[in-house]
Amino acid sequence: MNHNESLLPLKIAVLTVSDTRTEADDKSGKILVDNLTTTGHLLVEKTIVPDNIYQIRAVVSRWVAHESVQVILTTGGTGVTGRDGTPEAIKPLLDKEIEGFGEIFRMISYQEIKTSTIQSRSLAGVANGTYIFCLPGSSGACQTAWSIIKEQLDSRNRPCNLAQLIPRLTEN
């Protein structure tokens, strides 16, 4: 980490996927917002949608098409129940998947929740020059995921980081 440099604040949107959460009780969404703003990034928008593939995809598509959003964090809908559809909503939008995120998330989660981590279908990727991270809905999982994401969204992180690649994401 090069602390002599200034952090390049990124513009981030947060989407909570839940049939039951409201702004009043959305702990995971609040954790993500608190973490990103405390770190120095900018919250562009936060919203909640039900566990519905098309509603998830509509919000994320709008953000991906908007130049003011550089990163999207979703929480919820990554499990294996019938209502969990966040990966199915997001994967068709991705230009590239970042497989390493899900792999390292589950590796770290294993230390915390043991084999229950196999139920997580967390994923990350790039769509139209926008990073998308799909996280589980639990507040603990969001904290774990943020411990990975925060360093990669920090332009000062060395030897490399995702933030420095943003200008090159849409190159042909």
Note the pTM of the prediction, 2 decimals. Answer: 0.96
pLDDT at 2 over 90: no
pLDDT band at 172 (very low <50, low <70, confident <90, very high): confident
pLDDT at 1 over 90: no
Other CB atoms within 10 A of residue 87 CB: 18
* Predicted pLDDT at 20: 94
38 SS3 class:
helix
Nearest-angstrom CA–CA distance, 106 and 112: 10
pLDDT at 9 over 90: yes
* Predicted pLDDT at 132: 98
Question: How much is the average pLDDT of 139-151?
Answer: 97
pLDDT tens readout for residues 113-138: 999 989 999 999 999 999 999 999 99
Q: Which CATH class is domain 11-166?
A: alpha beta
Question: How much is the average pLDDT of 101-115?
Answer: 96
Q: What is the DSSP letter of 89?
A: H
48 SS3 class:
strand
* Predicted pLDDT at 3: 66
**Among candidates 72, 125, 78, which has minimal Cα distance to 98?**
125
Cα distance between the two ends of the chain: 30
pLDDT tens readout for residues 50-87: 999 999 999 999 999 998 999 999 999 999 999 999 99
Percent of the chain with pLDDT over 90: 95
* Predicted pLDDT at 155: 95
pLDDT tens readout for residues 18-53: 999 999 999 999 999 999 999 999 999 999 999 999
